[in-house]
Structure 1
Amino acid sequence: MLDVIVVGGGHAGIEAALIAARLGCETALISLSLENIGKMPCNPSVGGPAKGIVVREIDALGGQMGITADQTALQFKMLNTTKGPGVQSLRVQSDKLAYARRMQEEIQRQEHLRLILGICTGILVENGKITGITMEDGQILEARAVILTTGTYMSSSVMISSEVTPSGPDGEPTTNKLSESLRQAGLKTFRLKTGTPPRVLTESIDFSKTTPQPGTDQFVAFSTTTQTIRKPEDQKLCYLTYTTPQTHELILANLKKSSMYSGVVKGVGPRYCPSIEDKLVRFSDKPRHQIFLEPESEALDTTYVQGFSTSLPRDLQELMVHSLPGLEHAVIRKYAYAIEYDAIDPLQLKPSLETLVVENLFTAGQINGTSGYEEAAAQGLMAGINAVLKLRNQPPLVLRRDEAYIGVMIDDLVTKGTQEPYRLLTSRAEFRLLLRHDNADQRLMRYGYELGSISEQRWQDYQHRRAQVEQLKEQLKTCRLTPKSPIQDALEAVGYAALTDGVSAEELVRRPHITVAMLKPALDFDFDPAAAAQAEIELKYEGYINKARKEAEKMMAMDHVVLPEDLDYDQVQHLSLEGRQKLKAIQPHTLGQASRISGVSPADVAMLAMVLEQRHRKEQ
């Protein structure tokens, strides 16, 4: 018997299988084919607002996505650099073929991990506990824990206009049997929809009519293990173009031919990554929309038309693409389509991502109602970790909202649920100044080290980096700059008057627009640029960071109050009817989680706190 079976070789499945095997569990990964592992069926990129920070968090916990993304990036770009550190994040344009190939190699060489090719058609449950899965060829695989990471492959249909084909992405097989098996086990499913834009022949694009989008001219990486990346001059360009009045006229005149607007699509689409039809209907006041042209791979001659997802007929897609500046003569290599699939209601999950209905059954990724490679990988990592901890009879690892975007996402899913493909945004985090790109290892690497997914060497490297930051902050505090210091021109360049008295370097760094690097000519010590950037943030935003930490501590106090699993909400007096129903359905783990459930009032929370206090006194 296996310890863990992971169903699905996408981004969630990869992280779940690797972490389970790395932590010593005998693990099997079920995939349609070797080539399916690590595929990027939509945008060939990793990171972006909030998502890039999630990849840093995955790396800090010992996951794989950041390492592979760094190794196979065509372009590195730091986003929102003109804004505060709470919203800055890294995005890379990936080589989709190289990325998948690296992930496949990682899976194949991992000890304790076995790859099984085929289709899972059902789960096996005895006395409310998972015992294994069934395969399409009749094979039965037994396991102590199962993690489902099926992506968009459950009962999926591909749609172009009124043409509906039962299929997974790229014409691959789908299965209705797994969804039915989950429903028979007591899990609720619902339909979701997503889509993908066309790919065009790169040499058929006139890039002179578009705006080049270069990468960042500095060393940036997802993984703290990454030592080198492509030089800026070797990175590939992306390009920006826009929709035109002709584009809008074509789409609006043919809305009824879209799968979404003709009634073919039954599922709910992503609000934050809508089709071009949705954009024009919902943002009718906008005269144009951005379209990014992004390379897919050095080994391919295709360009991804980002922002142009559609399910309109092929002949209309030709006209639409040709209406974009630079794409007047573009040759479409792959037409856009919409895809509809089954997901489970995430309110049926514990914060560990174990289902409430079936013990030792975990789910991660798009099956939980999310969208995006990064969201999937993060859930896969957490599901893998918690499956191992469950088998060891140890408490689950549940990240708080103030210590990780991963914690924000999972808490949102299991507490609030979702009716549409969930996407992480910086606005979802109450404490985003605490959840920065620069401090992911500071927030989470301790967990990885304690689990055993972070090596002793990586832990020592982190401790050394942290010591450098603290040493630099102390040096800035004691270093005094005078009117004779060679920084007067630099100060005047950013709007400050020349120094007339002595001032500490720390005090100057706390001022807006002044950086540690700017003061370097006047400092009598060397420093690491990464350490300088982190020290600068911690000094400049110290007041805001401390305020956020105090607010987080208030939330943390309620999240430390655990609700007993045997608490009978029907016996708790004076709960509101809606509150009682929601508490019974969701089974919150802590009082803090209960307080965030839609429909649970502050009065309900107060009653729960009173009941817990009474129980505590009786136990005393």
Structure 2
Amino acid sequence: MFQEYDVIVVGAGHAGCEAAAAAATMGSSVLLITMNMHTIAQMSCNPAMGGVAKGQIVREIDALGGQSGIVSDKTMIQFRMLNLSKGPAMWSPRCQSDRVLFAQEWRTILENNPNVDFWQDTAKGIIVEDGKACGVTTSLGIEIRSKAVVLTNGTFLNGLIHIGEKNFGGGRTGEKSATGITEQLVFLGFESGRMKTGTPPRVDGRSLDYSKMEEQPGDEVPGKFSYSDTKPLAKQRSCWITYTNNEVHELLRTGFEKSPMFSGRIKGLGPRYCPSVEDKINRFADKDRHQIFVEPEGWDTVEVYVNGFSTSLPEDVQYAALRKIPGFENAKMFRPGYAIEYDYFPPTQLKSTLETHLISNLFFAGQINGTTGYEEAACQGLMAGINAHRNVHELDPFILKRSEAYIGVLIDDLINKGTEEPYRMFTSRAEYRTLLRQDNADIRLTEKGHHIGLASEDRLANVLRKKSEVAEITQLLATTKISPDEINSALEEIGTATLREKTSISQLLKRPQLSLVQLIDASSQVASLLENFAQDSVQQAEINIKYDSYIEKEMLLVDKMNKLENLTIIDNFNYDVVTSLSYEGREKLKRTRPGTIGQASRISGVSPSDISVLMLFIGR
């Protein structure tokens, strides 16, 4: 009934969709197994993509040739660039999405790829032969063979949903959990654990009084995620902001004794940076209010997502407390919030490719690795799909360094440090964030994506055009001087020092008070100089000029670190023979099995002296 596939992807969430699309686009035959064909790429939590650091990840996925940016652009209902008051390293794109259209667009993309087949069923186990993953078995008793398997099980592995004192098996509300895989992997020697995440209630937007809330419109000139020819929004829907209050908090406290989180019924840790509303009230007892974002779920629905009110309290307590929030006095609830507990596998059991150490050709991506967030899942799926394809076709692994992408930071953090709570990406996790900006993801990554057969010829042509234009603009701005007569009146108006002699435009542009847009408006000379260049190239050149010294410093740090990254450690290195290693260092190195000295230096518990000993031992 089934052919032997190159790659089987289990799970069709954000990780599974990117994994299947990537492997198939590069030429592998792919089978995508999902429990429900109608929930492919479902946004289980908030209807949004991007945000601080997460928006950079979506742009990186797109630059490599992935699909999340394109899907987001085609289905967004609002776009905002966050942190514009800060430096470009902090600028982060974010959009509100139409939940239904998002899933439909992803399914269309996958169905239009001739290398992707689908099967609606539950994977119950992995076929393992001679230490290799060779396919899966399903709940229908079918064996399907493949050369590689990518597990992207999300919250479904032994998922348990909690609402107050009630709990029941499920991977998402209304969907059953998946059993069998955890038990098999533990039997094979894998370590597993439990984690928790949650979601807020959904309400009827027709029952809300928006006059009591603060409107949050999208950007006047909306941007987009993809570097391809997707169209920016012509119209947008607003979100709204309101706040909890002491009355809300007191009502929520009445349910604390029935809370599965406080009673100990939930064993897994929840995401530190996205706590439930009861957790916020408990941890921040001095705060008399917490922000609530009121987010529409799409163009043609009245359903509203109550961002900031994630909870697993009894439904009657949720409902009573909701109606004390300004604007929610007459709110009608579609469904209550809930918490979900699920199995995950500490990611220190993975290689940099997301292949497991124990079983070759078996890859993990997404929440199975202890992460949270659509974007974090999608980029892991992309990398797992790429490397599953490359394994099958006996090609070198594809690994991104910390200095090359937020994706590289995320995977490096996971496999070296592990996580005991759901991992979420922030700009602060990246030591080279001045280099890893959302505006230059195409320059950083598209040539790499094209080289591995994922990014198209058109994408490569676009990035080569941009690089050429940026170089030309940078040269023009450095060699063209502007006279005091032409610019001083504008400089006075802006509040910055006037010129005494002709000065190059790039030197003037290094002033923090000045932008290139202001110079274009003030000077016909600057305007005519740049009129024939694409806007993205002009902005890129401006950022490069303004932050030249910071970029140069980070590049020097990257060069130093790369010397360690280039010192490889063989796969079967015997750490027991290195007697000078500390006991903890030896145990951590044996467990994580780093591929380079640089990776070894980032493992928690491996000291600088351990690294020195290792370098001496391998003759460096």
Task: Measure the CA separation in 2 of the matches of 1:467 and 1:216.
Answer: 29
Residue number in structure 2 paired with 1:602: 608
State the one-letter code of the partner of 2:447. R
CA deviations 1:428-474 (Å, max 9, x no partner) are 11111110011101111111010111122210111111111111111
More displaced stretch, 325-334 vs 278-287: 278-287
SS of structure 2 residue aligned to 1:613: coil
**Equivalent pair of 2:70/2:230 in contact (CA under 8 Å):** no
Q: Structure 1 residues 90-99 or 252-261, which shifts more?
A: 252-261
Q: CA deviation at 1:256?
A: 1.9
Which of 574, 578, 581 lines up with 1:575 in the alignment? 581
**In structure 1, how many angstroms separate the alpha carbons of the residues matched to 2:145 and 2:84?**
50
CA contact under 8 A between 2:147 and 2:392: conserved in structure 1? yes
Q: Answer yes or no: is the 8 Å Cα contact 1:125–1:185 preserved in 2.
A: no
How many pairs are equivalent?
611
Q: Aligned residue for 1:400?
A: 401
Contact 2:45 2:199 in 1 (8 A): yes
Check conservation: 1:58, 1:381, Cα contact below 8 A.
yes
Conserved in 2, the CA contact under 8 Å of 1:129 and 1:359? yes
Q: Is the 2:239–2:296 contact (alpha carbons within 8 Å) kept by the matching residues of 1?
A: yes
Alpha-carbon distance in 2 for matches of 1:423, 1:67: 22
| d(CA) in 2 for partners of 1:410, 1:227 | 29
Does structure 2 retain, via aligned residues, the 8 Å contact 1:41–1:170?
Answer: no
Amino acid at match of 2:314: P
Following TM superposition, by how much is the alpha carbon of 1:287 offset from its aligned partner in structure 2, in angstroms? 2.2
Pairwise CA distance, 1:227:
4.1
- 2:312 corresponds in structure 1 to 311
Aligned to 1:267: 268
What's 1:617 paired with? none
- Separation (CA, whole Å) in 2 of partners of 1:453 and 1:511: 40
TM-superposed deviation, 1:501: 2.3
Query: Do 1:70 and 1:226's aligned partners in 2 also have CA atoms closer than 8 Å?
Result: no
Q: How does 1:7-22 map to 2 (within 5 A)?
A: 7-22=10-25
In the TM superposition, what whole-angstrom CA distance separates every residue of 1:240-263 from its partner, at most 9, and x where no partner exists? 111111112222343222111111
Matched with 2:60 is 57
Q: Tell me if the contact between 1:97 and 1:299 (Cα under 8 Å) persists in the aligned partners.
A: no
Of 177-186 and 410-419, the range deviating more from structure 2: 177-186
Displacement of 1:513 = 2.2
Q: Deviations along 1:124-153, whole A, 9 cap, x unmatched?
A: 111211111000000000000000001001
CA distance in 2, matches of 1:129, 1:55: 32
Conservation of the 8 A alpha-carbon contact between 1:52 and 1:437: yes
Q: Residue 162 of structure 1 contacts residue 262 of structure 1 at CA under 8 Å; is this kept in 2? A: no
My pick for the range that moved more, 282-291 or 247-256, is 247-256
Shift of 1:345: 1.2
Q: Whole-Å Cα distance in 1 between the matches of residues 5 and 83 of structure 2? A: 45
SS of 2:571's equivalent in the other structure is coil
Map of 2:494 onto structure 1? 494
CA distance in 1, matches of 2:222, 2:208: 30
* Contact 1:349/1:356 (8 A) holds in 2: yes
User: In the alignment, what sits opposite 2:290?
Assistant: 289
Counterpart-to-counterpart distance in 2, 1:457 and 1:169: 39
Matches within 5 A, 1:128-527: 128-231=131-234, 234-485=235-486, 487-521=487-521, 522=523, 523=526, 524-525=528-529, 526=531, 527=533
Give CA-to-partner distance per residue, 1:249-292, whole Å, 9 cap, x none: 22234322211111111111000111011111222222211110
Which residue identity does 1:96 align to in structure 2?
Answer: R
Q: Secondary structure at the match of 2:485?
A: coil
- In 2: Cα distance, 1:2 partner to 1:529 partner: 44
Structure 2: which amino acid aligns with 1:95? D
Task: Give secondary structure in 2 for the equivalent of 1:327.
Answer: coil
CA contact under 8 A between 2:74 and 2:230: conserved in structure 1? Answer: no
* Structure 1 position 528, deviation (Å): 2.7
Q: Which amino acid letter does the alignment assign opposite residue 261 of structure 1?
A: F
1:555-587 Cα deviation digits (max 9, x unpaired): 111111111112101111211010111111111
Report the 3-state secondary structure (helix = DSSP H, G, I; strand = E; otherwise coil) of the residue aligned with 2:433: coil
In the TM superposition, what is the alpha-carbon distance from 1:499 to its structure 2 partner? 3.0
Q: Contact 2:255–2:314 (CA<8 Å) still a contact in 1? A: no
Whole-angstrom distance in 2 between the partners of 1:398 and 1:96: 32
SS of the residue corresponding to residue 246 of structure 1 reads helix
Q: 2:569 corresponds to which residue? A: 563
Partner SS for 2:554: helix
Contact 1:150–1:367 (Cα < 8 Å) also in 2:
yes
- Following superposition, the deviation at residue 219 of structure 1 comes to 4.2
Distance 1:227 1:138, change over 3 A: closer
Equivalents in 2 of 1:227, 1:358: separation in Å? 40
Letter of the structure 2 residue corresponding to residue 417 of structure 1 = G
Amino acid at match of 1:519: L
Structure 2 residue 595 is the aligned partner of structure 1 residue 592: no
Which one-letter code corresponds to 2:262 in the other structure? Y
Gapped runs of 5+ residues in structure 2?
Answer: none
Separation in structure 2 between the aligned mates of residue 435 and residue 295 of structure 1, nearest angstrom: 31
Counterpart-to-counterpart distance in 2, 1:270 and 1:490: 49
Say whether residues 1:40 and 2:77 are aligned partners.
no
AA partner of residue 604 (structure 2): S
The sequence identity of aligned pairs, in percent, is 46
Aligned AA for 2:476? Answer: Q
AA matched with 1:244: N
Residue type of the partner of 2:343? D
Q: Secondary structure at the match of 2:95?
A: strand
Task: Provide the rounded CA distance (Å) in 2 between the counterparts of 1:45 and 1:226.
Answer: 21
The one-character-per-residue Cα deviations of 1:325-344 (angstroms, maximum 9, x if unpaired) are 11111111111000000011
What's the CA shift for 1:488? 3.5
- Residue 618 of structure 1 corresponds to none
CA contact (8 A) 1:22 1:111 kept: no
User: What value does the CA root-mean-square deviation take over the aligned residues?
Assistant: 1.1
